[in-house]
């Protein structure tokens, strides 16, 4: 069993730096001070796609005379970039709007807008339900923000929730205000064409579309030139990335895109998320194997370990298929490649035996990390229309806890097997708990903490792992 290290109480958690998965994190866009007239405050919820979109929104509004601020009380325009994935995510935003209302009372000129998935789901209903809201803008309509803001300045409400089949914001350079200057996210596609029966994303993000491969390579190259050392390519289902040039002479799939980005520089690490088990190909795995700078970590959400439940979820693979993909990863990339999952507990009609199958899949895959949730019915989805949400909340919660506990055993074991080995760590900054230590990640996305000596942010350091907390490796530079 792993040895917890008792002398140091580090808690730098292995946060989902490479996830398109909702992390429960709230992100406030950092301030710019360039003397622009109006102040924009953006708070982002949900997944990395939203965090990435907020950088695009800041860029669009910067050109419109807005500096960003991290002080809500001082803002002229407050934007919440929202998430609809589970009921709780929406409740959080409703509560936040109440708090913002009290600020608005003190500063009556303050405009309040809702962006993102909840804006798309609720559309103009939002204006009826939340009187404080002036502006409702869906994820494909951010270019219209300047026009909508002038409309609101003129005393009207502004709504644009049109979804697009083309919009990828490929030409807008995001302003990376929250960045550490070392790691960055690049959206390579938008939307989702899968129809998982539990999921609201196809309704809030629209049809799947892939961004111009050249604009992606250009963005990554510009980041390298600016000193960045790691990029994460983001999409709901990166393996279905597919782009063709207008004249039809050039076709790029995900494996090829990954290779193009990896070839920009051997000093650039490349990550990606999320991989759909039905689509991840051996070609992608071989591409990962060929390039040392493509990190050996795959987020491969299973959702359930039972084939009947997977069919009800409309995931379009069954358990044997999923197990075969895990075996392919182990065969092509070896035991060291990290794998993580998302699991949903208590989906419609899930029996105790079927829940046990999820636990046994966790044992089979020995995941490094799991993002686990209990099922939350979302209005308008296939499951809401066709299936009964019949598992009592206490049962959902108990099953979820069992999933979390089982996953924890494997996470600890996966950390423990890395002790005694040397890891190449990209330093992201000081450790949260000690200014004398640095924190970074290895290729597997595990957190590694070590005494800082003369190393600094952005360095690649070879670190011998000497112990683990179960959620981080501790070691020393060699």
Choices 137-145, 193-201, 440-448, 459-467 (CB under 6 A): range interacting with ligand SAH: 193-201
Would you count residue 22 as binding ligand SAH (CB under 6 A)?
yes
Would you count residue 194 as binding ligand SF4 (CB under 6 A)?
yes
Query: What DSSP letter does each residue of 10-33 carry, written as one string?
Result: -------TT--S--S--EEPPP--
> 3-state class of 89 per DSSP?
helix
Minimum gap (Å) between residue 278 Cβ and ligand SF4: 9
The residue (of 160 and 372) whose beta carbon lies closer to ligand SAH is: 372
Q: Is the dihedral of CA 427, 428, 431, 435 positive or negative?
A: positive
Would you count residue 342 as binding ligand SAH (CB under 6 A)?
yes
Give the N- to C-terminal CA distance of the chain in Å, as an integer: 26
Q: What angle do CA 142, 144, 147 make, to 5 degrees?
A: 140
Would you count residue 199 as binding ligand SF4 (CB under 6 A)?
yes
- Site residues for ligand F3S per CB under 6 A: 22, 46-47, 49-50, 83-85, 116-117, 200-201, 204-205
Element (H, E) at 48: helix 48-62
Indicate which of ligand F3S, ligand SAH, ligand SF4, none lies near residue 342 (CB less than 5 to 8 Å, by partner kind).
Answer: ligand SAH
> 3-state class of 221 per DSSP?
helix
Indicate which of ligand SF4, ligand F3S, ligand SAH, none lies near residue 164 (CB less than 5 to 8 Å, by partner kind).
Answer: none
The residue (of 50 and 58) whose beta carbon lies closer to ligand SAH is: 50
The residue (of 236 and 407) whose beta carbon lies closer to ligand SAH is: 236
β-strand partners of 112: 78
Would you count residue 276 as binding ligand SAH (CB under 6 A)?
yes
Strand arrangement of the beta sheet that strand 230-234 belongs to:
183-187, 230-234, 269-273
Which one of 45, 51, 126, 198 is in contact with ligand SAH (CB under 6 A)? 198
Would you count residue 23 as binding ligand SAH (CB under 6 A)?
no
Kindly calculate the radius of gyration of the chain based on its CA atoms and give it in whole angstroms.
Answer: 22
Residue 3, CB half-sphere, CA atoms under 13 Å: how many? 11
Would you count residue 236 as binding ligand SF4 (CB under 6 A)?
yes
Would you count residue 201 as binding ligand SF4 (CB under 6 A)?
yes
Q: Is the dihedral of CA 118, 123, 128, 133 positive or negative?
A: positive
- CA 263 to CA 256: how far, in whole Å? 11
The residue (of 46 and 158) whose beta carbon lies closer to ligand F3S is: 46
Indicate which of ligand F3S, ligand SAH, ligand SF4, none lies near residue 49 (CB less than 5 to 8 Å, by partner kind).
Answer: ligand F3S
Would you count residue 237 as binding ligand SF4 (CB under 6 A)?
yes
C-beta of residue 100 within 8 angstroms of C-beta of residue 79 = no
Would you count residue 317 as binding ligand SAH (CB under 6 A)?
no
Within 298-357, the residues that bind ligand SF4 by CB under 6 A are: none
C-beta of residue 299 within 8 angstroms of C-beta of residue 236 = no
- CA 205 to CA 196: how far, in whole Å? 14
Within 71-100, the residues that bind ligand SAH by CB under 6 A are: 85-86
Indicate which of ligand F3S, ligand SF4, ligand SAH, none lies near residue 202 (CB less than 5 to 8 Å, by partner kind).
Answer: ligand SF4
C-beta of residue 297 within 8 angstroms of C-beta of residue 18 = yes
CA distances to 162, 191, 385, 427 from 121, in Å: 11, 14, 16, 39
Q: Is 196 annotated as a binding residue?
A: yes
The residue (of 67 and 140) whose beta carbon lies closer to ligand F3S is: 140
Please choose, from the candidates 406, 400, 377, 379, the residue with its C-alpha nearest in 3D space to the C-alpha of residue 389: 377
Indicate which of ligand SAH, ligand F3S, ligand SF4, none lies near residue 252 (CB less than 5 to 8 Å, by partner kind).
Answer: none
Q: Is 337 annotated as a binding residue?
A: no
Which one of 82, 160, 237, 358 is in contact with ligand SAH (CB under 6 A)? 237
Element (H, E) at 261: helix 254-262
- CA 332 to CA 199: how far, in whole Å? 31
Indicate which of ligand SF4, ligand SAH, ligand F3S, none lies near residue 117 (CB less than 5 to 8 Å, by partner kind).
Answer: ligand F3S
User: Which residue is associated with the tokens 């209302």?
Assistant: 101
The residue (of 70 and 279) whose beta carbon lies closer to ligand SAH is: 279
Minimum gap (Å) between residue 414 Cβ and ligand F3S: 25
Which one of 236, 287, 306, 340 is in contact with ligand SAH (CB under 6 A)? 236
Q: Is 295 annotated as a binding residue?
A: no
Element (H, E) at 287: helix 282-290
> Which residue's Cβ lies closest to ligand F3S?
46
Instruction: Tell me phi and psi for residue 18, to 5 degrees.
Output: -110, 25
User: Which residue is associated with the tokens 């070691």?
Assistant: 475
- CA 300 to CA 474: how far, in whole Å? 27
Q: Is 47 annotated as a binding residue?
A: yes
Pair of tokens at residue 345: 């507990």
Question: For binding to ligand SF4 (CB under 6 A), which residues are involved?
Answer: 192, 194, 196, 199, 201-202, 236-237, 276
Question: For binding to ligand SAH (CB under 6 A), which residues are involved?
Answer: 21-22, 85-86, 198-199, 201, 236-237, 274, 276, 301, 303, 342, 344, 373, 375-376, 378
**Where is the binding site for [4Fe-4S] cluster, in residues?**
47, 83, 117, 192, 196, 199
**Where is the binding site, in residues?**
47, 83, 117, 192, 196, 199
């Amino acid at each position: 069993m792993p040895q917890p290290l008792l002398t140091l109480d580090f808690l730098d958690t292995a946060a989902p730096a490479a996830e398109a998965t909702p992390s429960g994190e709230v992100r406030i866009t950092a301030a710019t001070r360039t003397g622009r007239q109006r102040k924009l405050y953006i708070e982002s919820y949900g997944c990395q796609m939203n965090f990435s979109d907020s950088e695009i929104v800041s860029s669009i509004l910067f050109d419109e005379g807005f500096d960003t601020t991290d002080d809500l009380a001082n803002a002229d325009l407050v934007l919440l970039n929202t998430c609809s994935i589970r009921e709780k995510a929406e409740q959080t935003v409703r509560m936040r709007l109440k708090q913002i209302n009290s600020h608005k009372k003190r500063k009556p000129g303050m405009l309040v807008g809702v962006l993102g998935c909840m804006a798309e789901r609720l559309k103009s209903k939002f204006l009826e339900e939340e009187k404080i809201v002036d502006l409702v803008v869906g994820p494909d309509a951010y270019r219209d923000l300047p026009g909508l803001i002038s409309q609101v300045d003129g005393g009207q409400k502004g709504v644009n929730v049109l979804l697009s089949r083309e919009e990828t914001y490929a030409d807008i350079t995001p302003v990376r205000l929250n960045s550490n200057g070392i790691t960055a996210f690049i959206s390579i596609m938008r939307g989702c064409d899968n129809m998982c029966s539990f999921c609201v994303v196809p309704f809030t993000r629209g049809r799947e579309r892939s961004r111009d491969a050249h604009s992606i390579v250009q963005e990554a190259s510009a980041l390298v030139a600016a000193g960045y050392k790691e990029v994460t390519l983001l999409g709901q289902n990166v393996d279905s990335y597919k782009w063709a040039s207008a004249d039809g002479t050039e076709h790029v799939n995900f494996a090829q895109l990954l290779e193009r980005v990896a070839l920009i520089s051997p000093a650039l690490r490349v990550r990606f998320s999320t991989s759909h088990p039905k689509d991840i190909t051996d070609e992608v795995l071989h591409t990962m194997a060929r390039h040392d700078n493509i990190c050996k970590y795959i987020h491969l959400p299973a959702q359930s370990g039972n084939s009947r439940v997977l069919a009800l979820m409309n995931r379009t693979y069954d358990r044997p298929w999923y197990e075969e993909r895990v075996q392919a990863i182990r065969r092509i990339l070896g035991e060291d490649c990290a794998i993580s999952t998302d699991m949903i507990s208590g989906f419609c009609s899930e029996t105790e035996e079927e829940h046990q199958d999820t636990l046994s899949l966790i044992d089979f895959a020995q995941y490094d990390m799991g993002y686990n949730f209990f099922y939350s019915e979302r209005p308008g989805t296939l499951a809401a229309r066709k299936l009964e949400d019949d598992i009592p909340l206490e049962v959902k919660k108990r099953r979820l806890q069992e999933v979390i506990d089982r996953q924890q055993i494997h996470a600890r074991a996966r950390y423990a097997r890395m002790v005694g080995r040397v890891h190449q760590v990209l330093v992201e900054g000081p450790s949260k708990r000690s200014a004398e230590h640095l924190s970074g990640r290895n290729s597997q996305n595990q957190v590694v903490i070590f005494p800082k000596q003369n190393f600094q942010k952005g360095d690649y350091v070879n670190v011998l792992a000497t112990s683990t907390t179960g959620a981080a490796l501790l070691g020393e530079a060699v």
